[in-house]
Structure 1
């Protein structure tokens, strides 16, 4: 029986791999494909790279950032849908070790719910280990919630590894494309940014929930037990960059979810101030949650991205004397 099950699993995996390879010949979305995005980034030849989730993809405008820096920076937006912190750190390590031209690396400080959308097969186990250790060190999260998160992640991983449903969805998009900024075709600029002009007409519960979580995060001091595992990973990246004569800056995305707050509230307060850009605690924070600056509850539109990018650039000036 075990041998029979094993044979079926091997057959399913082989079929999955063949399907992926065939579809890749006709359609690749660089917002979801790490390899494709690395090629685009390398071809652009940046000296500054922003690594993050789709919030980075839509929320940071490299053209504006470089203009404000009088073009002393040539920045690339490496925003990937649902990228995990572990993969973000791996990308940063690769840039530190193998790309002499890149001097500054910005990494979005995130802790999104489990997703394997941007994972390569070789990263699945590493990512599972990373997330398990992060959750284990998160004393803010109850044990039953940790267990639920683990099994949800396991189900997601197995689904991505064995199911061809994602490929079927891709085929549907190829046959009948939609105009949605996320589900539609990629519309990346050469610098990696995707700009969206549309805006929401009104606020909603999800936006308000994100705003509450973000405000809680900004008010968080060193009162919670530190997540030493997550912090050690970040400090390692910072140390590698310093040793190579480069700099790594962690930055808050435009909004945080409740789960992210629970994890990151035990991380951010313990990071070096010179390596972290928090969101503004004044009235400017409200701009990131106004419907006219968003195209969905999580993502900034063109107008919101300009506000957010200007804020990041201004904060960056405090960390670089040569800009």
Structure 2
């Protein structure tokens, strides 16, 4: 474990150096005019007489340049329609021109949210359900997720294209996840504990023929640094270090599989700034500027490109414009 912590310390120094570079890149992105792709999403928010959203008309415009010369223009449109039965029960139906055969509908009730994505108005390709214990929707009781893409693969390390997953929140263990793979017909059960489970905790886990994982984490403070260690079936798989550095909150995550990420949070005038850096599958850094809980500006820099994203909102706090400018190295 000492070796892991030593490695993490050296990584933090490396990331601090990277952060200085990123700050200089931020100015470059803001001042540069020769972007390769400029994407603009404009939202026309239409409200009913009660001040609630009735519909949102979306226009997506993509401009592509080569050596500062415009080479192509693509324009798409979309529509979000809101249907209200009462103050707490309503639904949102989303359609977009690039995916005319896919319709996404979200139903909101007092203690639940349900989203269904249909292809050709018949095949369910994505399904999400969230059940809450309270009306404020802050305490989850369980969630359910189904994803089916009819054999079409997703390029992702951890996601299989046909599965069902349940997440339950229980009094004995923090929560559990049951994941069933439709392709292999295998089911895995993962149980999460907030501390090291004792004999009584382990006995609360029902016996099953499925493959079971037991996860928990521990806390330890060394000087002014909080160290969290995460375990799976008794083996450590991730360490998180949290500390303050000259008014900045630093959170450094290092996993035994090589995954690593660094979060630095601080205030800049009236903005909350979060800088996220990771060397996992290529170096990348995101600087996110938020105000009153809403993203205002995002600067992204990785090995292949730099990107500037800006957001505008109306007086109700709903998005009216998103501009994404990308320059490839």
Return the structure number with greater strand share: 2
The structure whose Rg is larger is 2
Q: Flag whether TM exceeds 0.5 (same fold).
A: no
Instruction: Kindly indicate which of the two structures has a greater share of residues assigned to helix.
Output: 1
Category of TM-score, reference length = shorter chain: under 0.3
Q: Higher relative contact order at CA 8 Å, sep ≥6: structure 1 or structure 2?
A: 1
Q: TM-score, normalised by structure 1?
A: 0.18
